[in-house]
Homo-oligomer: A and B are copies of this chain.
Amino acid sequence: MKKGIGQYAIGESFAGFLLIKEATKGVTTNGKPFLTLIFCDSSGEIEAKLWDSTKEDEATFVPEQIVELAGEIIQFRGNLQLKVTSIRPAQPTDGVHISQFIEKAPVDKEVLSEKIMEAIFEMENANLQRIVRAFVKKYGEALLTYPAAAKNHHEYVSGLAHHIVSMLSIAKELTNIYPSVNKDLLYAGIILHDLGKLKELSGVVTTTYTLEGKLLGHIPMMVEAIGEVASELKIEGEEVTILQHLVLSHHGKAEWGSPTPPLVREAELLHLIDMIDAKMNILNRALDKVQPGEFTARLFPMENRSFYKPLFDRKDS
């Protein structure tokens, strides 16, 4: 595999295509305009400065534009920076596409889709199954391509579906270990719990919050959506209320955004499985970036802890 921008070290030279993720205008202390650009490919991102930028530059180098550039990796205030020596916007003839530059789930979306369908197929309670099926149909492609969050965990293309599928695997095993758990309810909760994010987040590539997302949040929006879908399907009764409860309570407590805490066994389990998979996603990706014997960067969503990667392996002694 080709070396991505996330793998370059100080002093190395880079030449190739990158995607512009952010572009901000600035003025130096002596009044000269410049552009701060953040470039990315699927392996990571890097900052660069474009000195003495023109109005034309400002119009050319904008987010979601692919560019071909060359430069050197330097250190600037403790972070890596790309010192650009040449840059030009990509042409149609370059044969590059935005989807090549953004991080994706390590599992294909077709596989993810299949696994979700399998879980639905396993469900025996018709009410729960019909509601879940209706959502999967309604949200279709978005469900398979959205990230699970704007940052923190599973923040890549198909991150949401990847998160759902990992959670379903954990749920399957836990229902073996604790057989009194209602598997249908747990599966339904897992598949639906974060679908409100499809309305809370603006999109797949540059992910920001919608007005509805900011003023209501994905949890109340999804509670409402379940009510709506159930009403369209003419399904009434405890399954609907309890499914809404699973979504409402899945953050675990009021301070974390769930006005009601889990009060049903499967709601508690949904919360715990969600927490495990989110934490493991963060941890695994952070540990992948360091060598044995090193600590990771501080991980904000893990209470700002920095984790150690032991020197020894399974078979060591």
Q: CB within 8 Å of B: which residues of A?
A: 25-27, 29, 31, 49, 74-77, 83, 124-128, 166, 169-170, 173-174, 177-178, 180, 182-185, 211-212, 214-217, 219-220, 223-224, 227-228, 231, 237-239, 241-242, 244-245, 248, 253-265, 268-269, 272, 275-276, 279-280, 283-284, 287-288, 295, 302-303, 305-317
Our pick among B183, B259, B314 for the contact of A124 (Cβ within 8 Å) is B314
Q: Which residues of B are found within 8 Å of A216, using beta-carbon distances? A: 223, 241, 244-245, 248, 260
Our pick among B212, B217, B223, B265 for the contact of A287 (Cβ within 8 Å) is B265
B220 in contact with A248 (CB, 8 Å): yes
Given A177-B169, A220-B220, A272-B275, decide whether A260 and B315 contact each other with a Cβ distance below 8 A. Answer: no
Our pick among B27, B174, B263 for the contact of A307 (Cβ within 8 Å) is B263
A126 in contact with B317 (CB, 8 Å): yes
- Distance to closest chain B CB from A22 (angstroms): 13
A83 in contact with B31 (CB, 8 Å): yes
State in angstroms the CA–CA spacing of A215 and B226 once bound together.
15
A27 in contact with B75 (CB, 8 Å): yes
Q: Which residues of B are found within 8 Å of A126, using beta-carbon distances? A: 317
B217 in contact with A259 (CB, 8 Å): yes
- Distance to closest chain B CB from A27 (angstroms): 5
| Copies assembled | 6
Closest to A75 in B: B27
Q: Which residues of B are found within 8 Å of A223, using beta-carbon distances? A: 216, 220, 223-224
Q: Which residues of B are found within 8 Å of A217, using beta-carbon distances? A: 248, 259-260
- Distance to closest chain B CB from A314 (angstroms): 5
A76 in contact with B178 (CB, 8 Å): no
Q: Which residues of B are found within 8 Å of A29, using beta-carbon distances? A: 49, 76
Closest to A81 in B: B27
Our pick among B170, B220, B263, B279 for the contact of A173 (Cβ within 8 Å) is B170
B242 in contact with A215 (CB, 8 Å): yes
Q: Which residues of B are found within 8 Å of A308, using beta-carbon distances? A: 211, 214-215, 263-264
Contacts A26-B76, A169-B173 supplied; 16 other A-B pairs, CB < 8 Å: A128-B317, A170-B174, A211-B238, A215-B241, A215-B264, A215-B308, A216-B223, A220-B244, A224-B227, A228-B231, A259-B259, A261-B303, A261-B305, A262-B305, A263-B305, A264-B308
A182 in contact with B313 (CB, 8 Å): yes
- Distance to closest chain B CB from A254 (angstroms): 5
State in angstroms the CA–CA spacing of A244 and B302 once bound together.
21
- 18 CB contacts below 8 A, A to B, read A27-B75, A125-B314, A170-B174, A183-B314, A211-B241, A211-B308, A214-B260, A214-B308, A216-B241, A216-B245, A216-B248, A217-B259, A220-B220, A223-B223, A227-B227, A227-B228, A254-B257, A263-B305
Closest to A251 in B: B259
A242 in contact with B310 (CB, 8 Å): yes
- Distance to closest chain B CB from A260 (angstroms): 5
Closest to A126 in B: B317
State in angstroms the CA–CA spacing of A273 and B261 once bound together.
20
